[in-house]
Amino acid sequence: MDNEITNNAADGSETLINAGTDINITGDGTTGTPYVINSTFTEAQDLADVIAIDPSAGNNAITDVTDPTNPQDAATKAYVDSVTDEIALSGQVASGTSTSTGEYTINNDAITTSSIIHLTVEENASGDAIMIQLTSQNNGDFSVKVYEFTGGGPPTLTDANWQYIVVNP
Q: Is the pLDDT of residue 153 over 90?
A: no
User: In Å, how far are 43, 51, 55, 60 from 48, measured between CA atoms?
Assistant: 13, 5, 9, 18
User: 3-state DSSP helix/strand/coil percent for the chain, to nearest 5?
Assistant: 15, 30, 55
This model's pTM is above 0.85 = no
CA 18 to chain CA mean position, Å: 48
Strands (E), the chain: 23-26, 36-39, 87-93, 103-107, 116-121, 129-138, 141-149, 156-157, 162-167
Of the given ranges (78-92, 105-119, 140-154), which has the lowest mean pLDDT?
78-92
Mean of the per-residue pLDDT values of the chain: 82
Using DSSP, state whether 129 is helix, strand or coil.
Answer: strand
Helix, strand or coil, per DSSP, at residue 3: helix
Mean pLDDT of 133-138: 96
Q: What is the CATH number of domain 80-167?
A: 2.60.440
* Cβ-Cβ contacts under 8 Å for 103 (sequence gap 6 or more): 143, 144, 145, 146, 157
| b/e per residue 97-132 (b: at least 16 CB within 10 A) | ebeeebebebeeeebeeebeeebebeebeeeeebeb
In sequence order, the 6+-apart residues with CB closer than 8 A to the CB of 19 are 25
Q: Mean pLDDT, to the nearest integer, of 158-167?
A: 91
Three-state secondary-structure class, residue 49: helix
- pLDDT, one tens digit per residue, over 6-23 is 555 555 555 666 666 777
Average pLDDT on 24-53 reads: 80
Q: How far is the C-alpha of 145 from the C-alpha of 160, rounded, in Å?
A: 10
What's residue 122's pLDDT? 82
In the chain, where the domains are located: 2-42, 80-167
Confidence of residue 4 (pLDDT cuts 50, 70, 90): low
Over residues 46-86, the pLDDT tens digits come to 888 888 888 888 888 888 888 888 888 888 888 887 777 78
Helices (H), 15-120: 47-53, 77-86
pLDDT, position 126: 75
